[in-house]
Amino acid sequence: MNAQVSGLSDDDRRPPSNELLEIAQRGLALKPKRLPSWLFYDERGSALFDEICEQPEYYLTRSEIVLMDEHAGNIADTLGSDVRLVEYGSGNARKTSMLLQHLHEPVAYVPVEISAEPLRESVERLGAEFPSLPVQPLCADFTKPLRLPIPPRAPRRTVVYFPGSTIGNFDNRDAAVLLRKMRNEMGDAGGILIGVDLKKDHAVIEAAYNDRAGVTSRFTLNMLTRLNRDIGSNFDLTAFRHRAHYNPMAGRIETHIVSAKSQQVKIGRANVAFREDEAIQVEYSCKYSLADFEALAAKAGLAVLRVWTDAQQMFSVQYLVRASTVAR
C-alpha cells in the first residue's frame, strides 16, 4: 500500500448482530414489510453490484463513464485547485480515477465506504495509480455523522463526491436530509458533485433492474443470505423472488423481495408470517428531470451551479453549492 495512505479500520463495517436483528424484526413487522437497502452491501453484495454494472441493460454506469470521459477535465476546472475530495460510497472508485487524473493539486482524497474489503482494494489501486496523492480512507456509513480525517494541508474547498445514482435510493424527504448533511460537511466554500439519473423511456429504466442474466435478482436475494448468516434467520431463497418495476407516478423503480408461497420465517425468537405474493420493499431508485433535481437541491439550501450530461441525455453529473453563495 502506498505510503501516502492513512490507516483503515473495520469498526464501522456492519452493526452488531443484536442491532441487525432489531432492524430486521422492526422492518418485517411493518405493513407493508420493509428492509433498508444498505443490507445489500456485504462483501458478496458489493461484488454482485459490480457485476450488475457490466450487464448490457444497465445503462447507468456506461452513461456516466462516457460522460466523465468527455467532461472530467471541465469538471476539474470547475472545482478548481487545492480540493479535498470526499467520496460517499466509494466502492471500486473507477469513476473517481477519471476525475483524479484531472484535478489540480488535490489536497487529499477521502473515500467513505461501509464495506471494508472493496475499500481496501480501491485504496491500494489508487495508491499505485496516484502515488503523490494523500488517501485518507474512512470505513463508515456515509448517512451517519462523519468525523473526517485532518487533511495534510488546508484545502481551498472540500467537495463531497457522490457518483453513480445512489441519491435516487432515497425518497425526496430523506434525499433532502442527506443533501443538507453534505452541505454541512462541505463547509461554506465547498460543493457537492453528484450523479443524477434522468427520466427516460420507462422500458429502458425497467430493463436495467431486471437484467436477463439474473444478476440483479441474485443481488437482491443476497440480502436474505446476509440475514441468515448474520442473525441466524432461516429464509429459504428458493421461496422468494426479485421484483422491480417502474412507478411512473412516483418517478422511481420500486424493488421488492416477494414471497412465492405462504410461509413462516424465523427471525430471532419470532416467526414472521408471509402470505403468497407478499412483498418486502427493499429499494427505491428515483429518476429525475433537471427541474426535479433543482427543486430537491433547493429544499436542502443548495443551488445547481453546473450540469453535465452524456450526449443521449441518459445521465447527469451536477455541481451544487450553497444557495446563499449564488444569491450574493
* CATH number of the structural domain spanning residue 117: 3.40.50.150
Instruction: With respect to residue 225, please indicate whether it lies within any of the assigned structural domains.
Output: no
Residue 254 is placed in which grid cell?
Answer: 420500486
The tens digit of pLDDT for each residue in 59-73 reads 999 999 999 999 999
Which residue from 269, 312, 222, 193 is spatially nearest to 21, judged by alpha carbons?
Answer: 269
Residue 12 has pLDDT above 50, yes or no: no
Instruction: With respect to residue 38, please indicate whether it lies within any of the assigned structural domains.
Output: no
Q: How far apart are CA 231 and CA 238, in angstroms?
A: 19
Residue 13 has pLDDT above 70, yes or no: no
Residue 321 has pLDDT above 60, yes or no: yes
Instruction: With respect to residue 66, please indicate whether it lies within any of the assigned structural domains.
Output: yes
Domain that holds residue 112: 59-201+288-327
pLDDT of residue 11: 36
Q: How far apart are CA 111 and CA 96, in angstroms?
A: 10
Instruction: With respect to residue 273, please indicate whether it lies within any of the assigned structural domains.
Output: no
Instruction: With respect to residue 131, please indicate whether it lies within any of the assigned structural domains.
Output: yes
The tens digit of pLDDT for each residue in 22-55 reads 999 999 999 999 999 989 988 899 889 989 999 9
Within 8 A by CB and 6+ apart from 290, the residues are 198, 304, 307, 316
Which residue from 24, 91, 44 is spatially nearest to 222, judged by alpha carbons?
Answer: 44
Count of domains forming the chain: 1
Give the three-state DSSP class for 73. Answer: helix
Q: Report pTM.
A: 0.89
Instruction: With respect to residue 50, please indicate whether it lies within any of the assigned structural domains.
Output: no
Mean pLDDT of all residues belonging to the chain: 92
Give the three-state DSSP class for 274. Answer: strand
pLDDT of residue 118: 80
Radius of gyration of the chain (CA): 20
pLDDT of residue 16: 58
Q: What is the mean pLDDT of residues 230-252?
A: 97
DSSP 183-203: HHHH-TT-EEEEEEEBP--HH
- Residue 17 — very low, low, confident or very high, per pLDDT cuts 50/70/90? low
Instruction: With respect to residue 154, please indicate whether it lies within any of the assigned structural domains.
Output: yes
Helix residue ranges, H only, the chain: 17-29, 43-52, 59-79, 94-100, 116-129, 172-186, 202-208, 215-231, 290-299, 323-327
Can the peptide bond before residue 106 be classed as cis, meaning omega within 30 degrees of 0? no
Residue 2 has pLDDT above 50, yes or no: no
The tens digit of pLDDT for each residue in 115-161 reads 788 888 889 999 899 999 999 999 988 999 999 999 999 999 999 99
pLDDT of residue 60: 96
Burial (Cβ within 10 Å: 0-12, 13-18, ≥19) of residue 61: buried
Instruction: With respect to residue 271, please indicate whether it lies within any of the assigned structural domains.
Output: no
Higher pLDDT, 145 or 194: 194
- Residue 91 — very low, low, confident or very high, per pLDDT cuts 50/70/90? confident
Q: How far apart are CA 202 and CA 246, in angstroms?
A: 7
Residue 194 is placed in which grid cell?
Answer: 453528484
Beta bridge partners of 196: 316
Burial (Cβ within 10 Å: 0-12, 13-18, ≥19) of residue 144: exposed
Residue 174 is placed in which grid cell?
Answer: 430523506
Q: How far apart are CA 230 and CA 45, in angstroms?
A: 14
